[in-house]
Structure 1
Amino acid sequence: MARPSCLLLLIFFSAFLALLPETTQLQSSQAWTLLKIQQLLNYPPMLSHWRRGTDFCGGGGGFLSPSVSAAVVCYGDTVTQLHIAWLPDLKVLTLSGLGLWGPLPGKLGRLAALEIVNMSGNYLFSGIPKGMARLAGLQTLVLDDNMLGGEVPAWVGALPSLAVLSLRNNSLRGPVPDSVGNMPALRSLVLASNNLSGNLPDLSRLRNLQVLDVGGNSLGPAFPKLGRKVVTVTLSRNRFAGGLPPELSTFYLLERLDVSWNRFVGPFAPALLSLPAIRYLSIAGNRFTGLLSDKTPCGDNLRFVDLSSNLLLGSVPTCLRSPDRKPDAVVLVSENCLDVDSSDGSQHSSPFCQNQALAVGIVPGKQRKNIAGQAGFVAGIVAAIVIAVLIVGFMVFFAVRKASVKGAKARAPAMLVDDNSSTSNGYPSKLFADARYISQTVKLGALGIPSYRSFSLVELEAATNNFENSYLMGQDSHGEMYRGRLGNGIPVTIRTLKIKRSQTTQSFNRHIETISRLRHQHLVSALGHCFEYDLDDSSVTQLYLVFEYVQDGTLRSRISQGTEGCKLTWGQRISAAIGVAKGIQFLHGGIVPGIYGNNLMITNILIDQNHVAKIGSYNIPILAEAMKPEVDQWKGGAGAGSKFQTDSPMYSDKSDIFDFGVILLEVVSGKTITSMYEVEILKELMQWAIADDDRVRRRSFADPVVRKGCSDESLRTVMEICLRCLAKEPAQRPSVEDVLWNLQFASQVQDDWEGDTRSSDGSPVSSSSRVVRSSRLNLSR
């Protein structure tokens, strides 16, 4: 500052001191208060002469410091005034809960070094003064529980260091300024319990934002755009509407989500229950629809769930019911249409939720299906009556037609015949015959997989007990996924897909031909399909895709999340990785055209009872076409590009290689990876681990479960190919053939090492012998 100036704000301290009774017995309390002020001001030089034994009211007049910058004025034995001037180095100012009354002083802006200001719990009114915009170093501003009015000032967004902005429980009004979305250091934004309105600004650029609390306002209707690092999102009691954004299910750091008592509609995503960090989830008081399943998983940290007052159908997930839920967990599900004991009237009947959904423009898919079924039943009765009346005439017609039908069958190409398919559906014969076109070369009976065929709807209904809710594995806006068991006892998963009327018969035939070829030892293979038709115009309304069911868990569950007893060994992990690579090789080159951009994730790699890895989600064309821009992550579903990276079409095959590198990274480290940030960190650690020929450093990176049971050369080979797969430039990533060769080499080295270890009573094989094997294998390539 140019010259010393009196800090009038600190006169507020005198009001606090004046509240003390005017007796000599309280002189020590007043002295203690002054010394506490000295401590809060970080012991400024002008107060250096204040000591525990200082007589601040000596002679009844007061105490004047040697510096003219500080003075204490007394009346009798009571401090009535405190003057402190020129505090250029003051960094922390806390005046919380002192009962201060009046407008917030704009002269605070003169304290240029301030970093923390906390004046909560007072009676401050008027607006936030513009003078505070000069506090360039301000990191925390807390003005909760006051009577501040006006709007949130736009200049707040120009404070470059502000990390915490908390204005809870005031009388602020108007919109939140767009400048708030441009605060690079902001970590916590708390604007709850005000009179704010309008949409929140775009907050997705706030890379450090962890806490957003705007509950108790009139904000909305658009859901705010957020970055994926948020930990707490509280939007309760506002005017937000529409549906929740699908990317919310990928916020893996999210611990608290409260969207209760808004105007949200549309399907509720059960995946929110299984977010790895989620602790508190409340969607109460909205119009969320959808079917819940008792098979829906829950996150390990989930302690509070409130689904009440919505339009949910189905069953409460088993993980939310006693005795499966945690002892301290709270679960509220009243005022829905769930299959629970509603003797206390806590649940509505199913028609209530369906009618309410119709009233707000949401038509559940299951209801449409039931309506179609009822229409089909009525149409069947009418058709039966008509047939009974005209049967005599038809007998004459069929007698004349019989010979020509035999001739047409004799001339039909052999490739159109499928002896495993059902012909009793009563569906249009031309479309049904074309859709059953299956190449005999894709019948991989040697793999133990049944031949691909066309299923009847009756078969699929019997396999799922008429698509009962307890068989439901998941759903989205395009259809559902059910588990089931065929009449011959084979377990299957059945994927339903609503069909656009714009899709032609020719496109169906092309897609079915492609799907029929998706059969490989390391894929969750397609077993067949079924069409459902509109009874009025015979158009296809729904497609059912049947896949094999793999029930022994995911690769992640056998690595990152498994117990010690069931985690895969190093040799088994390499074998699983080889299987995934072979599956990718088949998708890229085993069928024409190749299938790329398969959204490969370790949670979609399934392990069967023989430890064989199978890719459970890949980019089936008909699903990708119908589901854009969504990414389906169900078993046997379709992907729509990498979760971690998006490459140009020129390098579409390299996107799968990058995703495979992420899988390898988790296979080696044993650490759960949920974000690109974690990929980069582990990649750097792996590069450091293999930078020098340091065996201890490499083993320190590996999963402790397999650290002692793996060959150093095998480990290094897998780590090197993993890093090549994770190259930022797609052109620098290896081909799938190169990946396979390196993994097979690592597997052979591991097998030889284990054999030598056993033959030498546990002593590892010498380094020189491993080099000889390496040279021999490289020459044989």
Structure 2
Amino acid sequence: MGRSPTPLRLPSSVSVWWLGFLLLTAVAVADAQAPLFLPPGNQPSVPTSSSLAPSPSARMQIVIQTRHHHHHKELVIAVVLASAAVLAIILSSVCACVFWRRGRQMLNTRNIETSEAGGGLPFGSIRSKLNNMKTTSKKGLLPTVDYPSLELATNKFSECNILGEGGFSHVYKACFHGEVSAAVKKFDAGRPDCSKEFENEIDLLGRIRHPNIISLLGYCIHGETRLLIYELMQNGSLETQLHGPSHGSALTWHIRMKIALDIARGLEYLHEHCNPPVIHRDIKSSNILLDSDFNAKIADFGLAVVDRNLNKCGLELSGTLGYVAPEYLLDGKLTEKSDVYAFGVVLLELLMGKKPVEKMAPSECQSIVQWAMPQLTDRSKLPNIVDPVIQNTMDLKHLYQVAAVAVLCVQQEPSYRPLITDVLHSLIPLVPIELGGSLRAADPTPSSNRQIQTGACIFILEDRQIMWP
């Protein structure tokens, strides 16, 4: 049985105004139609046949009565118009309020339908829910969430809710109010650098807004414990997708290229559009998170450095083995090109499905760069080292171009590496339009004369071998 529509009830103030309006109108009309009375001594005399023309005093009396009557009518009209205007304003406000409420109800219904279709509430709803839980915030616009709420949302940080583990932190899935999902990063208490990384993430992610950079929803400080609340990424990290149980089976060639393009866009924003520029310092597959549509976002800004702070003392060597640029590892020289090197390693992971560092023997390790470089520059060998999951699924000319970009990014000399903007523009034509690139289904293959030129390196894609200077 459907509900019968609720009748529209006007506020009591409208009823009062309406009654007042009727009363004023009745009084005014009655007053306007009442005869004019003069003082007893000034009653007009009835004209006689002997004298039909009014005397001068009688004419003055008539004029005064007429003017008084005219002014009274003007007052009545003013009162009526003012009351009508007030009533119109009140009725307009009531109608606007009714339409606004109906619009909000319709919008909420659409949001619920969207969340049910997508498996979760929209990001705006999540932020709104968390904002309702906040106390006083000392970190700009970021809300603080009380610790008992996080305990309840994560089932007291149960192991079954762990999404991932870092060197000094754990990430848990949290469910607020039984419907809002988020990721909660809990730093290990007592670690010396814990507070520094915690403050660093809040400072940077509290100001950065970009589709390819993870969104920070809030934070919590509970004694020595530090916690950060992020948007939930349903497909986990790129590392889990590539090297986990599925071994990259869900990542087609075009999805891998889309992920590379998303990472490049996020890095370009950090390097070119942030003022001052931001160097992430820890780009790796475990810090690339994927949502339900495999949109990639850069996460974990605990080690990020603002360019203006590079010359300050106390900047310790940090990063992950296999992704750290040679000049930073050996000389401590850190620039945006260090992030470009790490991006090149991630690109090689996407191409070959291998980890950045693999054990060759109990005491011997080999990096993916050392192993792949001789084969990446040989077109006859390149197709054989591609991840078996995507072998023979791409245009070979596209494969050669991606390999050339990867080789450029992992050059030992930083000046030979391209800017991330150049990398971005090289990848856009390789990604289909529906995935955020410019590749059309009917597009011809790249021209045989296509070149990628950066600094002193020129890679001729149609040669049997990539040429070095």
Q: What's the TM-score once normalised by structure 1's chain length?
A: 0.34
Paired with 1:475 and 1:671, the residues of 2 have a C-alpha distance of 20
Partner of 2:407: 723
Assess if the C-alpha contact under 8 Å between 1:714 and 1:747 holds in 2: no
Question: Post-superposition shift, 1:496?
Answer: 2.7
Question: Post-superposition shift, 1:564?
Answer: 8.3
- Judging changes above 3 Å, is the alpha-carbon distance between structure 1 residues 668 and 456 closer, same or farther for their aligned structure 2 residues? same
Of the three residues 195, 198, 210, the one matched with 1:520 is 210
Partner of 2:383: 699
Q: Any unmatched runs of 5+ in structure 2? A: 1-127, 306-314, 359-365, 452-469
SS of the aligned residue for 1:492 comes to strand
- Judging changes above 3 Å, is the alpha-carbon distance between structure 1 residues 630 and 724 closer, same or farther for their aligned structure 2 residues? closer
Paired with 1:476 and 1:572, the residues of 2 have a C-alpha distance of 26
Assess if the C-alpha contact under 8 Å between 2:431 and 2:439 holds in 1: no
Question: Post-superposition shift, 1:501?
Answer: 10
Alpha-carbon RMSD across the aligned residues, in angstroms, is 4.4
Assess if the C-alpha contact under 8 Å between 1:496 and 1:543 holds in 2: yes
Q: Residue deviations 1:104-129, cap 9 Å, x none?
A: xxxxxxxxxxxxxxxxxxxxxxxxxx
Partner of 1:671: 354
Question: Post-superposition shift, 1:490?
Answer: 2.6
Of the three residues 217, 222, 227, the one matched with 1:532 is 222
Matched, 1:568 2:251: yes
- Letter of the 1:663 counterpart: V
Matched, 1:467 2:143: no
Matched, 1:738 2:422: yes
Question: Post-superposition shift, 1:669?
Answer: 2.4
Assess if the C-alpha contact under 8 Å between 1:518 and 1:526 holds in 2: no
Paired with 1:553 and 1:466, the residues of 2 have a C-alpha distance of 21
Paired with 1:621 and 1:722, the residues of 2 have a C-alpha distance of 23
Partner of 1:659: 342
Q: Residue deviations 1:731-769, cap 9 Å, x none?
A: 211111011011113336998987349xxxxxxx6xxx6
SS of the aligned residue for 1:522 comes to coil
Q: Residue deviations 1:651-670, cap 9 Å, x none?
A: 42111111111111122223
Paired with 1:558 and 1:500, the residues of 2 have a C-alpha distance of 30
Assess if the C-alpha contact under 8 Å between 2:217 and 2:231 holds in 1: yes
Q: Any unmatched runs of 5+ in structure 1? A: 1-417, 426-431, 439-451, 534-540, 623-627, 633-638, 690-695, 758-764, 776-781
Paired with 2:145 and 2:389, the residues of 1 have a C-alpha distance of 45
Q: Residue deviations 1:469-524, cap 9 Å, x none?
A: 4434566895543332122623222223347899999x998863423124432233
Partner of 2:441: 755
Partner of 1:771: 447
Paired with 1:518 and 1:697, the residues of 2 have a C-alpha distance of 42
Q: Residue deviations 1:420-470, cap 9 Å, x none?
A: 646886xxxxxx44x1422xxxxxxxxxxxxx4222223212211233344
Paired with 1:752 and 1:475, the residues of 2 have a C-alpha distance of 36
Matched, 1:551 2:241: no
- Letter of the 1:454 counterpart: T
Q: Residue deviations 1:680-735, cap 9 Å, x none?
A: 1211110122xxxxxx5443343343332212221121111111001001121111
Matched, 1:437 2:140: yes
Assess if the C-alpha contact under 8 Å between 1:531 and 1:543 holds in 2: yes
- Judging changes above 3 Å, is the alpha-carbon distance between structure 1 residues 420 and 576 closer, same or farther for their aligned structure 2 residues? closer
- Judging changes above 3 Å, is the alpha-carbon distance between structure 1 residues 466 and 565 closer, same or farther for their aligned structure 2 residues? closer
Paired with 1:511 and 1:585, the residues of 2 have a C-alpha distance of 19
Paired with 2:402 and 2:303, the residues of 1 have a C-alpha distance of 30
Question: Post-superposition shift, 1:589?
Answer: 3.8
- Letter of the 2:254 counterpart: G
Question: Post-superposition shift, 1:583?
Answer: 1.7
- Letter of the 1:770 counterpart: P
Partner of 2:266: 583
Instruction: Work out the number of aligned pairs and report it.
Output: 306
Paired with 2:191 and 2:245, the residues of 1 have a C-alpha distance of 42
SS of the aligned residue for 2:378 comes to helix
Partner of 2:392: 708
Partner of 1:342: none
Assess if the C-alpha contact under 8 Å between 2:340 and 2:417 holds in 1: yes
The structure with the largest helix share of the pair is 2
- More RCO (CA 8 Å, sep 6+): 2
Assess if the C-alpha contact under 8 Å between 2:235 and 2:289 holds in 1: yes
Partner of 1:496: 186
Q: Residue deviations 1:618-644, cap 9 Å, x none?
A: 34569xxxxx97968xxxxxx799446
Assess if the C-alpha contact under 8 Å between 1:554 and 1:607 holds in 2: yes
Q: Residue deviations 1:376-435, cap 9 Å, x none?
A: xxxxxxxxxxxxxxxxxxxxxxxxxxxxxxxxxxxxxxxxxx99646886xxxxxx44x1
- Letter of the 1:672 counterpart: K
Assess if the C-alpha contact under 8 Å between 1:644 and 1:659 holds in 2: yes
Assess if the C-alpha contact under 8 Å between 1:597 and 1:640 holds in 2: no
- Judging changes above 3 Å, is the alpha-carbon distance between structure 1 residues 645 and 710 closer, same or farther for their aligned structure 2 residues? same
Paired with 2:386 and 2:298, the residues of 1 have a C-alpha distance of 24
SS of the aligned residue for 1:682 comes to helix
- Judging changes above 3 Å, is the alpha-carbon distance between structure 1 residues 701 and 495 closer, same or farther for their aligned structure 2 residues? closer
Paired with 1:666 and 1:549, the residues of 2 have a C-alpha distance of 24
Assess if the C-alpha contact under 8 Å between 2:163 and 2:173 holds in 1: yes
Question: Post-superposition shift, 1:529?
Answer: 0.9
SS of the aligned residue for 2:377 comes to helix
Paired with 2:275 and 2:301, the residues of 1 have a C-alpha distance of 15
Paired with 1:619 and 1:503, the residues of 2 have a C-alpha distance of 9
Partner of 1:111: none
Paired with 2:194 and 2:439, the residues of 1 have a C-alpha distance of 56
Partner of 2:3: none
- Judging changes above 3 Å, is the alpha-carbon distance between structure 1 residues 519 and 557 closer, same or farther for their aligned structure 2 residues? same
Paired with 1:475 and 1:699, the residues of 2 have a C-alpha distance of 34
Paired with 1:508 and 1:606, the residues of 2 have a C-alpha distance of 19
Paired with 2:215 and 2:154, the residues of 1 have a C-alpha distance of 19
Question: Post-superposition shift, 1:610?
Answer: 0.4
- Judging changes above 3 Å, is the alpha-carbon distance between structure 1 residues 529 and 752 closer, same or farther for their aligned structure 2 residues? closer
Q: What's the TM-score once normalised by structure 2's chain length?
A: 0.54
- Judging changes above 3 Å, is the alpha-carbon distance between structure 1 residues 607 and 474 closer, same or farther for their aligned structure 2 residues? closer
- Letter of the 1:453 counterpart: P
Paired with 2:387 and 2:200, the residues of 1 have a C-alpha distance of 45
- Judging changes above 3 Å, is the alpha-carbon distance between structure 1 residues 735 and 755 closer, same or farther for their aligned structure 2 residues? same
- 1:380-391 equivalences under 5 Å are none
Paired with 1:574 and 1:462, the residues of 2 have a C-alpha distance of 39
Partner of 2:10: none
Matched, 1:456 2:146: yes
- Letter of the 2:391 counterpart: R
Partner of 1:681: 371
- 1:288-437 equivalences under 5 Å are 421=131, 432-433=136-137, 435-437=138-140
Matched, 1:615 2:294: no
SS of the aligned residue for 1:708 comes to coil
Question: Post-superposition shift, 1:597?
Answer: 4.5
Paired with 1:667 and 1:510, the residues of 2 have a C-alpha distance of 29
- Letter of the 1:742 counterpart: S
